[in-house]
């Protein structure tokens, strides 16, 4: 039998569900970085906020606050917050008000 084979179906119990492993996010250094990115977005710019060591629920709440402060849309992808438009200064002020150490990264 192969070492890399896995049981998918059994005649006794039927289909065996796959175990989903939650990917681990790399731990940050305590500094929140905000960068502007347009690559792969048809010229539309977004601000990407990285370095937040938070659970998904907390991250979602913070993203909602930032979107409200900036007055624009955004999303959460892979533990980072994406805010539409170039709102780096507004995001920086809002995060510093919450007690985070913030740096503007990139150009």
pLDDT digits (tens, 9 = 90+) for 6-54: 656 666 676 666 666 655 655 667 788 899 888 877 778 899 998 888 8
Q: Where are the domains of the chain?
A: 21-105
What does the alpha-carbon distance between residue 13 and residue 11 come to, in Å, rounded to a whole number? 6
pLDDT band at 65 (very low <50, low <70, confident <90, very high): very high
Report residue 52 as tokens: 């937040």
What does the alpha-carbon distance between residue 89 and residue 13 come to, in Å, rounded to a whole number? 57
36, 44 contact by CB (below 8 A): no
Give the pLDDT confidence score for residue 85 in this predicted structure: 87
Name the more confident of 29 and 78: 78
Give the pLDDT confidence score for residue 17 in this predicted structure: 63
Looking at the whole model, is its pTM more than 0.85?
no
The domain over range 21-105 is classified in CATH as 1.10.274.10: no
């Amino acid at each position: 039998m192969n070492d890399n084979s896995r049981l998918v179906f059994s005649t006794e119990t039927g289909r065996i569900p796959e175990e989903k492993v939650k990917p681990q996010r790399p731990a940050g250094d305590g500094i929140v970085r905000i960068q502007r990115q347009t690559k792969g977005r048809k010229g539309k710019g977004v601000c990407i906020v990285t370095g937040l060591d938070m659970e998904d629920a907390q991250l979602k709440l913070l993203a909602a606050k930032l979107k409200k402060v900036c007055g624009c849309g955004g999303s959460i992808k892979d533990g980072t917050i994406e805010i539409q438009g170039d709102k780096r200064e507004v995001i920086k002020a809002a995060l510093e008000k919450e007690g985070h150490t913030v740096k503007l990264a990139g150009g």
